[in-house]
């Protein structure tokens, strides 16, 4: 069938809206009519080269839509179901899934190529017939996609698609960074560095977990103001500006948990987070960035002060259970999702969406698809 989606052809290029030919779903695959897709910073990292992938590729991994066709062996969803896409096709059988770590399932291997589970493409550029991948085997910047059934989870029909797409990645990642990665407890003092689509949910997760103080370091003034609405207790333009208050709250010891959710991280910035983390505290890293083998931190601090550094993939969530739970929390009024959406775009406006992200104008932009 014919689809329409945004494709990136080269590092440093622009997203190009193109006609795409889409294969039928195979035995264990589903065809989804994508209704909405979040504009996640991770997709921009494919453009900058911070995350190496095989190009060209259809963008997008935060999706929500309707199942329109299923393969003959599909059991998880049926035609007509509303679904959220999942970042990783967790098998439920490997040693990681078996011990509750589906966020690092072995099926994640090879996802940088964007092909189906069998290694072949589902998307083809209409003009040339060239087979191309979709981001993390999805490609939600297309108005239709084919994926393995393990990357689709049924959601209630009354959940708006623009809300549901956010939970598929950014909300789960930020929330989980605080609740799972930081293991925040009542009474903790927490610092969140960066309040985009992931960081703002780390703020929400920290308050939900019972932190007494949730401080935010964010250079964009209106985002600092918004962070207070999402649960931050105080906001500062930088970590340096927050140091005095951190010292007051912790008797000079440092925060219990520092969560790094900036747009791009490097060794210097990570070292800054480690420096303000106190005794027995944890620095949580969920931001993407440099591959350089350098962190500006004292190894002795880890020993003498019993600090730890926790890397976080997908919020350390098990999405099959966590995504429905987060959506239920939204329905119960215990988490803000609508308020995360700053601007809605068409697929032809995807480059503007990322420009707005870089300009600090969005918490999260959302792509709304048409199906004419």
Strand bridging mode 16-22 / 308-311: unpaired
pTM, rounded to two decimals:
0.95
How high is the pLDDT of residue 290? 74
pLDDT band, residue 295 (cuts 50/70/90): confident
Segment holding 289, helix H or strand E: none
Residue located via tokens 């994508």 = 34
Question: Within a 10 A sphere around the Cβ of 294, how many other Cβ atoms?
Answer: 11
Tell me whether residue 214 is exposed, middle or buried, using C-beta atoms within 10 angstroms of its C-beta: 0 to 12, 13 to 18, 19 or more: buried
| Highest mean pLDDT pick, 230-244, 259-273, 310-324 | 230-244
Domains of the chain plus CATH, in order, are 2-154+337-368 (3.90.180.10), 173-313 (3.40.50.720)
What DSSP designation does 186 have? T
How high is the pLDDT of residue 74? 97
Strand bridging mode 57-58 / 2-8: antiparallel
**Does 213 have pLDDT greater than 90?**
yes
Backbone angles phi, psi at 222, to 5 degrees: -70, -30
Closest to 135 (Cα-Cα) out of 157, 112, 155, 154? 112
How high is the pLDDT of residue 372? 80
Lowest mean pLDDT among 2-11, 164-173, 200-209, 263-272: 263-272
pLDDT band, residue 323 (cuts 50/70/90): very high
**Does 298 have pLDDT greater than 90?**
no
């Amino acid at each position: 069938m014919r689809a329409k989606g945004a494709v990136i052809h080269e590092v440093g290029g622009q997203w190009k809206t193109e006609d795409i030919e889409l294969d039928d779903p195979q035995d264990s695959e589903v065809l989804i009519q994508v209704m909405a897709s979040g504009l996640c910073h991770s997709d921009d990292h494919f453009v900058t080269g911070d995350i190496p992938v095989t190009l060209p590729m259809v963008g997008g991994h935060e999706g929500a839509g309707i199942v329109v066709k299923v393969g003959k062996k599909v059991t998880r969803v049926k035609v007509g179901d509303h679904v959220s896409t999942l970042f990783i096709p967790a098998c439920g059988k490997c040693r990681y899934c078996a011990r509750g770590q589906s966020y690092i399932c072995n099926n994640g291997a090879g996802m940088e190529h964007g092909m189906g589970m069998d290694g072949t493409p589902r998307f083809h550029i209409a003009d040339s017939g060239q087979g191309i991948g979709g981001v993390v085997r999805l490609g939600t910047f297309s108005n239709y996609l084919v994926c393995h059934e393990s990357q689709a989870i049924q959601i209630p029909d009354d959940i708006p698609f623009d809300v549901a797409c956010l939970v598929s990645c950014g909300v789960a990642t930020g929330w989980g960074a605080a609740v799972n990665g930081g293991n925040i407890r009542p009474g903790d003092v927490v610092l969140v560095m960066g309040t985009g689509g992931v960081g703002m949910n780390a703020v929400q997760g920290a308050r939900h977990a019972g932190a007494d103080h949730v401080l935010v370091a964010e250079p964009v003034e209106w985002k600092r103001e918004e962070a207070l609405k999402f649960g931050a207790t105080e906001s500062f333009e930088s970590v340096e500006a927050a140091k005095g208050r951190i010292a007051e709250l912790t008797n000079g010891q440092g925060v219990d948990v520092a969560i790094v959710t900036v747009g791009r991280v490097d060794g210097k910035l990570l070292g800054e987070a480690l420096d303000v983390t106190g005794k027995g505290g944890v620095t949580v890293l969920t931001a993407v960035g440099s591959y350089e083998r350098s962190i500006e931190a004292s190894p002795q601090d880890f020993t003498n002060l019993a600090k730890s550094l926790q890397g976080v993939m997908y919020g350390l969530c098990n999405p099959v259970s966590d995504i429905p739970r987060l959506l239920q929390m939204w329905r119960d009024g215990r988490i803000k999702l609508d308020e995360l959406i700053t601007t809605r775009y068409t697929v032809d406006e995807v480059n503007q969406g990322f420009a707005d992200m870089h300009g600090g104008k969005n918490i999260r932009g959302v792509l709304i698809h048409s199906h004419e």
